[in-house]
Amino acid sequence: MGFDSPEFWVAVIQIIAIDIILGGDNAIVIALACRHLPEKQRNLGIFWGVLGAITLRVLLIFFALSLLSMPYLKISGAALLIWIGIKLLQPVSNNEEHGVVTSSTTLIGAIKTIIVADAVMSLDNVIAIAGAARDSLGLVVFGLVISVPIIVWGSQLVMKLMDRYPVTIVMGAALLGWIAGDMVVTDEVTRDWIRNNAVYLQLVIPTVTLFMVVIIGKKLAQLKNKAAVVVDLANKAK
């Protein structure tokens, strides 16, 4: 894909959206890990922690690009993206996700916390970017460059935007669903057959996976909210 290709700019927009949607957790981890450091060490903790985390992302994405060229690997990655998209739509309690991230009073401890947590949490980001980049190393590098300022500076603003306008979360989950479907139709096993026998599936399958993520995710979220209300009422009745 060249700079003059519409597919290139569509992929760029997708990668930026992925970084915005999935970068918020990483920014919160950084804040939690560094909040007990002395003022002078906080910037150092953020710098070295993010540098280490980005280095790990480079390695993860390198392997992701290599693996996604193997048969059935894109289909497996698509299944993971569908699960991630559905999970993105679920309500999160205060004890989930970030409650396990502990702060540190030492610079080395904070850096270790940031790198380990980011490596675990960035798997979804890596898979999504690799899928959106369509095997283009240049787009992958672009995604990494874009992710740094988003993680360090922009994610808190995005989190507030999601809190104020929940529809942005649904749009993000839908995007992951679409990319998952695109990965299915571009897998080594399916790509040539679809291109030669059923070109319409290049649009049909991503559309189906998009609606699958949104419908299943919203339904599960409703069930989870109802269960939370029942538990709350039961606790109050005690």
Please tell me the predicted confidence (pLDDT) of residue 138: 75
Instruction: Encode pLDDT of 117-168 as tens digits.
Output: 666 556 556 767 777 776 677 777 777 777 667 666 655 565 566 668 878 7
SS (H, E, C) the chain: CCCCCHHHHHHHHHHHHHHHHHCHHHHHHHHHHHCCCCHHHHHHHHHHHHHHHHHHHHHHHHHHHHHCCCCCHHHHHHHHHHHHHHHHCCCCCCCCHHHHCCCCCCHHHHHHHHHHHHHHHCHHHHHHHHHHHCCCHHHHHHHHHHHHHHHHHHHHHHHHHHHHCCHHHHHHHHHHHHHHHHHHHCCCCCHHHHHHHCCCHHHHHHHHHHHHHHHHHHHHHHHHHHHHHHHHHHHHHC
123 located within any domain: yes
Q: Looking at the domain assignment, is residue 178 inside a domain?
A: yes
The type of residue at 26 is N
pLDDT above 50: residue 98: no
Burial of 43 (0-12, 13-18, 19+ CB in 10 A): exposed
Q: What is the pLDDT of residue 3?
A: 64
Q: Sorting pLDDT into bands at 50, 70 and 90, what band is 60?
A: confident
Nearest to 178 by CA among 202, 147, 144: 202
Cβ contact 115:58 at 8 Å: no
Whether 39 and 102 have beta carbons less than 8 Å apart is answered as no
Q: Is residue 1 part of a domain?
A: no
Asked whether residue 214 is assigned to any structural domain, the reply reads: yes
> Percent of the chain, pLDDT > 90?
16
| Lookup: tokens for 184 | 């299915």
Residue 116 lies in a domain: yes
Mean pLDDT of the chain: 75
Q: Amino acid identity of 7? A: E
**pLDDT (tens digit per residue) in 13-26:** 877 777 666 666 56
On whether the pTM is more than 0.75, the answer is no
For the stretch 194-212, pLDDT in tens is 999 999 999 999 999 999 9
In a domain, 203, yes or no: yes
Range of the domain at 183: 6-237
| More confident of the two residues 107 and 82 | 82
| Residue 96 pLDDT level (bands cut at 50, 70, 90) | very low
In a domain, 47, yes or no: yes
Domain count, the chain: 1
| Band of pLDDT at residue 63, cut at 50, 70 and 90 | confident
Give the type of residue at 43. Answer: N
pLDDT at res. 67:
63
Task: Please tell me the predicted confidence (pLDDT) of residue 173.
Answer: 85
Q: Flag whether 172 is in a domain.
A: yes
Identify the pLDDT of residue 46: 74
pLDDT attached to residue 186: 86
